[in-house]
Amino acid sequence: MARMKAAIFVDKNRIVLDEKPIPDVGPLDALVRITTTTICGTDVHILRGEYPVAKGLTVGHEPVGVIEKLGAQVQGFSEGQRVIAGAITPSGHSNACLCGCASQDGPGTRHGFKATGGWKFGNIIDGCQAEYVLVPDAMVNLSPIPDGLSDEQVLMCPDIMSTGFSGAERGGVKIGDAVVVFALGPIGLCAVAGARLMGATTIIGVDSIAPRMAVARQLGATHVVDFKQGDVVEQIMALTDGRGVDVAIEALGTQATFESALRVLRPGGTLSSLGVYASDLRIPLDGFAAGLGDYSIVTTLCPGGKERMRRLMQVVASGHVDLSPLVTHRFKLDDIEAAYELFAHQRDGVMKVAITP
Amino acid sequence: MARMKAAIFVDKNRIVLDEKPIPDVGPLDALVRITTTTICGTDVHILRGEYPVAKGLTVGHEPVGVIEKLGAQVQGFSEGQRVIAGAITPSGHSNACLCGCASQDGPGTRHGFKATGGWKFGNIIDGCQAEYVLVPDAMVNLSPIPDGLSDEQVLMCPDIMSTGFSGAERGGVKIGDAVVVFALGPIGLCAVAGARLMGATTIIGVDSIAPRMAVARQLGATHVVDFKQGDVVEQIMALTDGRGVDVAIEALGTQATFESALRVLRPGGTLSSLGVYASDLRIPLDGFAAGLGDYSIVTTLCPGGKERMRRLMQVVASGHVDLSPLVTHRFKLDDIEAAYELFAHQRDGVMKVAITP
Amino acid sequence: MARMKAAIFVDKNRIVLDEKPIPDVGPLDALVRITTTTICGTDVHILRGEYPVAKGLTVGHEPVGVIEKLGAQVQGFSEGQRVIAGAITPSGHSNACLCGCASQDGPGTRHGFKATGGWKFGNIIDGCQAEYVLVPDAMVNLSPIPDGLSDEQVLMCPDIMSTGFSGAERGGVKIGDAVVVFALGPIGLCAVAGARLMGATTIIGVDSIAPRMAVARQLGATHVVDFKQGDVVEQIMALTDGRGVDVAIEALGTQATFESALRVLRPGGTLSSLGVYASDLRIPLDGFAAGLGDYSIVTTLCPGGKERMRRLMQVVASGHVDLSPLVTHRFKLDDIEAAYELFAHQRDGVMKVAITP
Amino acid sequence: MARMKAAIFVDKNRIVLDEKPIPDVGPLDALVRITTTTICGTDVHILRGEYPVAKGLTVGHEPVGVIEKLGAQVQGFSEGQRVIAGAITPSGHSNACLCGCASQDGPGTRHGFKATGGWKFGNIIDGCQAEYVLVPDAMVNLSPIPDGLSDEQVLMCPDIMSTGFSGAERGGVKIGDAVVVFALGPIGLCAVAGARLMGATTIIGVDSIAPRMAVARQLGATHVVDFKQGDVVEQIMALTDGRGVDVAIEALGTQATFESALRVLRPGGTLSSLGVYASDLRIPLDGFAAGLGDYSIVTTLCPGGKERMRRLMQVVASGHVDLSPLVTHRFKLDDIEAAYELFAHQRDGVMKVAITP
């Protein structure tokens, strides 16, 4: 049985490169040879044991590659085709999928819903920080890369762009809106780009790391706020002339950012939350008009599926959004442990790394 | 200057019937002679000093009456016409009104938004527990009562129906949904009716007071759950066969009901909150899928304006919803202090009282 | 090879009962033994050669039955289970499915869209007026029948209810709306029920056949209009006091009904079209405010998929809608030619027939 | 009584500059001294007698100016303030306004709706091609010009931008959509900009006039199609690789453009119509999937009101859209007859003219 290299979660603080069999291809699967992938903040949570996965699992959920082999029932694709798949790989047939909630896909459950059930790669099945990955429900999830786009150009589509844009989409950003994005990591930066793409005219990025704030401006932020330079709520209210924002996007996952997001909303505004939280959240009574402010708080897990990926790659192809500044470092798969070392400690101004087998 | 009787907030725990001048009618106002009004739970919060209003203010925000006098600029109505006005009386010209958020109306503010600013009667201007009330922005707010409907039949429209129905509307109830309503006071009961009216097929009412649970069944609840008879989350999950609900409506304003509402949602579901909270709220991490469950939490202040009132009176006229069981007691305005005494202590199975000058 | 009886399109005006092999079950299919099915108006168009299908095709697209055999890859169902499938059987994996437009499913096409592509049974694959039917993409399309519901109770779910309700849903019916439904055949009657289920308070049914008008009243029509008793537009405008309707549902497919539907809309209203048209349509300039009336015209093909079917069966189970008056005649499959004879000529007050093998 | 100059409709083919009294200011009005205005295609229809207005009416509906005098009841503005008002001036208090359909405002009608009733300037009341204009319902309609923006920069906001953007908004343009705009006059060009602003990635402009096609590219068109260079439907289908567009915007008002817009839609797509039609329209059966294609056809009249104007001026201020290339010619009000002569005959490559008193 042929074998391949893969980054495997062995134990807390140990993700190592090792060998595994190249998986067999079931009737609905596709085997994809990875040409480029990356490391996500979530992978770091896995590394640190903060998010539990099975020992021995291959990590990674952002695949760019080439179709090596198609399952017997898979139609509409051909071997050798360059493709991506989303970080979230819905089945297409659960009740969640059929009611427009595919990220909460629960194909094996009684009612077809499972919280975060659409996230499979590197969570409940082997992921893509490897030479090969098996894509489930391939007809739902494989999306051909348009001619002329490089691996790195589409590397953000599977997760970072999809998640970040969804912050603006679920927030219902409209032409002329004021939007704030809390935390300018890769997802927050994509939320900035998404707000810009949907017609927001005041876009405020909040962070304290200068290079991130500079990239935010490139991606459409009209203002940046350094939360270390004074009360963040006051700064944002001043920038909006006391009005507050229509949509506040939370892209970190902490009480402080969540609470500030709520406090800067105009009455009737929407808090669109993308962060992964680690503890209970508190909604302050005075920032919530005691429940009478017509506020909305919405949360979103990265949308997946081939149509989503097609649209995101169209955005890249259009040139309307240029995420290339996000890829700051490049590693071979053989050196992925070093990549984790750098990325987990956020050394050297790293934003995203490109990993190539 | 002619005088009238009015229920006036004097001090904590003292709302008394006294006399006041009948107000002058400004160009955009209408003076309405009250024929029936009622007391709201919010009035009890005012009575107890839990919600601050100015001493000397006339309380009450649910007017049914007859147009006594129209302001010079008011067109489209005639004196002697039977009308209601919503508890919330938007101006029609603030930015909040013009972007579909009229309850957060801030006509005198810099940007046209003010949290809960649309609530004026018995809050920032004299209310309608009196012989007369001055309706501001009369062309926006007066709504003629259809022939054949009695005062009591439309008495719930200004607040209770509008608020309760909005719980279902903002929750986005769809045909075939499972919905739960936490707390079966007058607003919760109207939320049950609203969910039924929008096509929900499983409607679970939660309370522990048997007569309220019985009315819930009349208004469309397919199941009732007594939260004193075992864990409420477990009971609801059992009734939905482990699936959870599409929409959970909170109609009380406590941590316990808010938290249970969140815990019974299916992934991707919506918590539609109507309650007025008295302290900070906690979002439990495990009931929130750590922020990744595609949940929505929406809050709503009672929608007002004449078109809203027109539609609610159409519902009454259609006979699709019969709220007459809600009016359990009747008082003369002269006896309003006794009405407060009864209502504030929830004696004698009171749900709503009708007050007639 | 085992054989079964099936109603087969042989030629114009000839649908005959004949024998065919029971089909083989592919990996994603399910073979369902039909216990009850029905004839649709569309089948009559096929019979008359007005809608082209391949000679030799088994007709019928409304299956109720029992799972006889599951494909090797089908999970989550068991043989012997009672199920229905929608008239429209989306694949779950086309781009159309993944962007919420599953009836326009084009799994074999370059871009994943095909107009009416989701309609397969009795159109491009063998249908269900037979002893057995092969359900494609079974995990997307099989929906278990809740305990306690009879075949006839769920017989309208695959097409009639789904289509009729979608008229109200796509029209965006809201609480307090005035709605008119043009033509009270089975689909129009279900549109009446759908409008009622979504909160419309004025529901006008238009037809000239008294028994249909009577059933419309049972299903929620507040008024019925006989188009032979005077100008239909004038009658509807009179019933709405000159205001017009918020939503007009067209359920026949003719110029006359389409045009009247447009003419009775209030400015900003929606024409929701369900009819299958046979010729070009004309939009009259004066009924269209020259393009400036904020009107919407929406068309809908019957929504399918198991989640849709689940919800419709919930409606039946709730007792909120009782469609049993629609089944006016019953036939054995052996007598299906007689059933076509009766149904095609609309003899004996037929609305829907139940066919049992 | 002081007098002012005004462009007055005298008779078919005669709009002349003459004198009129400066109007009195009612309690809810504002008198605005016009500093810049423009001529719209609709004004040319009026000139030619194709759209009827009263003889003696001042024409024009795109005002930029300074508040000269405020009505007694008008609050929140100050004399001397630079403002615009929308071409459509809703009352804020009709039922149409209160249900989100303000352009169909019917404040004087029985039910509060009137088709195109929100269009008052130069239609049913004196317009703004004059030294002064009386703005009705000033609190709803006056919108202060942000510091730093010139008259010409905001001159497109009252009509052209609002209408053009609404084509994209009502079409529901989403990130990654393919959009086509038929006819690249000023409104079509703004529709291109609106589609770009909302995230469309393929934007096809259709016209045959080279300078307009060039401006379309500046405003975001990714492709332009010359309808004289071959079948327009074929060209668009080729540019979308046979898929068709998600949204087709009609910005001319002819059968040819309407029909082509329908024919290039993907199944489930939306035709968003902005044109003013002069005769009945035909929906071709084969371009409409016989009513089963899940198509939507939506029409929109220019949205107005101060919040809309505020948002559009925010777009200008953000620099995201630069409409300055549209103003090709400038005239004094004294020379407005010459301006009409040029504009009506579309001489000298005119797109929009700026008129300054």
In chain D, which residues have their Cβ closer than 8 Å to the Cβ of B101? none
In chain D, which residues have their Cβ closer than 8 Å to the Cβ of C273? 291
N-terminal to C-terminal alpha carbon distance within chain D? 20
What is the model's pLDDT at position A217? 98
Q: Which CA distances in Å does C286 have to C2, D115, D276?
A: 61, 11, 12
Pairing of strands C202-207, D64-70: unpaired
pLDDT band at C36 (very low <50, low <70, confident <90, very high): very high
- The percentage of chain C sitting over the pLDDT mark of 90, rounded to a whole number, equals 99
pLDDT band at A122 (very low <50, low <70, confident <90, very high): very high
The beta-strand segments (E) located in A37-177 are: 64-70, 82-84, 132-135, 143-144
Buried (b) or exposed (e) across C18-47, using 16+ Cβ within 10 A?
eebebbebbebbbbbbbbbbbbbbbbbbbb
**For D222-229, what is the mean pLDDT?**
98
For tokens 């975001």, name the residue: D220
Residue count of chain C: 357
A:246-265 residues touching chain B, CB 8 A cutoff: 253
In chain D, which residues have their Cβ closer than 8 Å to the Cβ of C279? 285
In chain C, which residues have their Cβ closer than 8 Å to the Cβ of B196? 320
What is the model's pLDDT at position D108? 87
pLDDT tens sequence across A271-305: 999 999 999 999 999 999 999 999 999 999 999 99
User: Do A92 and C75 lie within an 8 Å CB cutoff?
Assistant: no
Other C-beta atoms within 10 Å of C356: how many?
15
| B317 inside 8 A of chain C by CB | yes
> Which residues partner with C7 through β-bridges?
C17
Reduce the DSSP state of residue C242 to 3 states and report it.
Answer: coil
What is the model's pLDDT at position C108? 87
Nearest-angstrom CA–CA distance, B61 and B130: 11
With a cut of 0.90, is the ipTM above it? Answer: yes
Mutate to test the interface with A, among D169, D170, D175 (most CBs of A within 10 A): D175
> Which residues partner with B212 through β-bridges?
none
pLDDT band at A108 (very low <50, low <70, confident <90, very high): confident
Mutate to test the interface with D, among C103, C266, C279 (most CBs of D within 10 A): C266
Tokens of B216: 């819930």
Q: Which of D106, D243, D288 sits opposite C111 (nearest CB)?
A: D243
Nearest-neighbour CA in chain C from D328: distance (Å) = 27
User: Do B299 and A292 lie within an 8 Å CB cutoff?
Assistant: yes
What is the model's pLDDT at position B318? 96
Q: Is the pLDDT of residue C12 over 80?
A: yes
| B90 inside 8 A of chain A by CB | no
Helix (H) or strand (E) holding C307: helix C306-318
What is the model's pLDDT at position B265? 98
Residue count of chain B: 357
pLDDT tens sequence across B41-89: 999 999 999 999 999 999 999 999 999 999 999 999 999 999 999 999 9
Q: Which of these, B73, B117, B112, lies nearest to B96 by C-alpha position?
A: B112
> Which residues partner with B327 through β-bridges?
B352
Q: What are the helix (H) ranges across chain A?
A: 41-47, 95-98, 138-141, 151-154, 162-171, 186-197, 210-219, 232-239, 255-263, 306-318, 336-344
> Could you tell me if A265 and B266 are in contact, meaning their C-beta atoms sit under 8 angstroms apart?
no
In the C/D pair of chains, how many CB contacts fall below 8 A?
158
Mutate to test the interface with C, among A98, A99, A312 (most CBs of C within 10 A): A98
Q: Which of C114, C283, C291 sits opposite D276 (nearest CB)?
A: C291
> Which residues partner with B8 through β-bridges?
B16, B58
pLDDT tens sequence across A210-239: 999 999 999 999 999 999 999 999 999 999
Q: Which of these, D100, D128, D97, lies nearest to D31 by C-alpha position?
A: D128
Q: Is the pLDDT of residue B1 over 80?
A: no
**For C106-111, what is the mean pLDDT?**
92
**For C21-49, what is the mean pLDDT?**
97
Nearest-neighbour CA in chain B from C87: distance (Å) = 19
Nearest-neighbour CA in chain A from C335: distance (Å) = 37
What is the model's pLDDT at position C82? 98
Q: Is the pLDDT of residue C22 over 90?
A: yes
Nearest-angstrom CA–CA distance, C314 and C316: 5
- Dihedrals φ, ψ of D178, to 5°? -100, 130
What's the CA angle centered on B46, arms B155 and B106, to 5 degrees? 75
| C343 inside 8 A of chain B by CB | no
pLDDT tens sequence across C239-258: 999 999 999 999 999 999 99
> Could you tell me if D36 and D155 are in contact, meaning their C-beta atoms sit under 8 angstroms apart?
yes
pLDDT tens sequence across D269-314: 999 999 999 999 999 999 999 999 999 999 999 999 999 999 999 9
What is the model's pLDDT at position A199? 98
Mutate to test the interface with A, among C307, C309, C314 (most CBs of A within 10 A): C307
Nearest CA in chain C to A100: C100
Give the CB-side neighbour count of residue D306, counting CA atoms within 13 A: 26
Q: Which of these, D148, D22, D46, D37, lies nearest to D85 by C-alpha position?
A: D37
User: Do C101 and D301 lie within an 8 Å CB cutoff?
Assistant: no
Q: Is the pLDDT of residue D23 over 90?
A: yes
pLDDT tens sequence across B225-262: 999 999 999 999 999 999 999 999 999 999 999 999 99
**What pTM was estimated for this model as a whole?**
0.98
- The percentage of chain C sitting over the pLDDT mark of 70, rounded to a whole number, equals 100
Q: Which CA distances in Å does A138 have to B66, C346, D97?
A: 67, 47, 49
Nearest-angstrom CA–CA distance, C24 and D283: 43
Nearest-angstrom CA–CA distance, D204 and D245: 9
Q: Which of C75, C92, C310 sits opposite A140 (nearest CB)?
A: C92
**For C140-156, what is the mean pLDDT?**
98
pLDDT tens sequence across A149-171: 999 999 999 999 999 999 999 99
The beta-strand segments (E) located in B96-237 are: 132-135, 143-144, 178-182, 202-207, 223-226
pLDDT tens sequence across D155-204: 999 999 999 999 999 999 999 999 999 999 999 999 999 999 999 999 99
User: Do A197 and D202 lie within an 8 Å CB cutoff?
Assistant: no
Residue count of chain D: 357
Nearest-angstrom CA–CA distance, B134 and C329: 62
> Which residues partner with A245 through β-bridges?
A265
**For A43-69, what is the mean pLDDT?**
97
Going across the sheet that includes D143-144, the strands are D132-135, D30-36, D64-70, D82-84, D143-144
> Could you tell me if B173 and B179 are in contact, meaning their C-beta atoms sit under 8 angstroms apart?
yes
What is the model's pLDDT at position A315? 98
Q: Which of D176, D314, D320 sits opposite A312 (nearest CB)?
A: D176
Tokens of A68: 């090596």
Reduce the DSSP state of residue D64 to 3 states and report it.
Answer: strand
Nearest-neighbour CA in chain A from C41: distance (Å) = 27
| A283 inside 8 A of chain B by CB | yes
pLDDT tens sequence across B88-121: 999 999 999 999 999 999 998 999 999 999 999 9
**For D78-90, what is the mean pLDDT?**
98
Q: Which of B96, B244, B253 sits opposite A267 (nearest CB)?
A: B96
Q: Which of these, C174, D120, C233, lies nearest to B307 by C-alpha position?
A: C174
Nearest-angstrom CA–CA distance, D181 and D198: 14
Q: Residue C256, exposed/middle/buried by CB under 10 A (0-12, 13-18, 19+)?
A: exposed
Nearest-neighbour CA in chain D from A12: distance (Å) = 39
Q: Is the pLDDT of residue A192 over 90?
A: yes
Q: Is the pLDDT of residue D1 over 80?
A: no
> Which residues partner with B272 through β-bridges?
B249, B298
pLDDT band at A119 (very low <50, low <70, confident <90, very high): very high
DSSP state letter for B37? B
> Could you tell me if B276 and B218 are in contact, meaning their C-beta atoms sit under 8 angstroms apart?
no
Nearest-angstrom CA–CA distance, D277 and C289: 9
What is the model's pLDDT at position B108? 87
Q: Residue A205, exposed/middle/buried by CB under 10 A (0-12, 13-18, 19+)?
A: buried
User: Do A107 and C306 lie within an 8 Å CB cutoff?
Assistant: no
Domains of chain C plus CATH, in order, are 3-85+121-156+323-356 (3.90.180.10), 164-299 (3.40.50.720)
Nearest-angstrom CA–CA distance, B266 and C99: 22
Tokens of C110: 């370059």
pLDDT tens sequence across B118-153: 999 999 999 999 999 999 999 999 999 999 999 999
pLDDT tens sequence across B179-220: 999 999 999 999 999 999 999 999 999 999 999 999 999 999
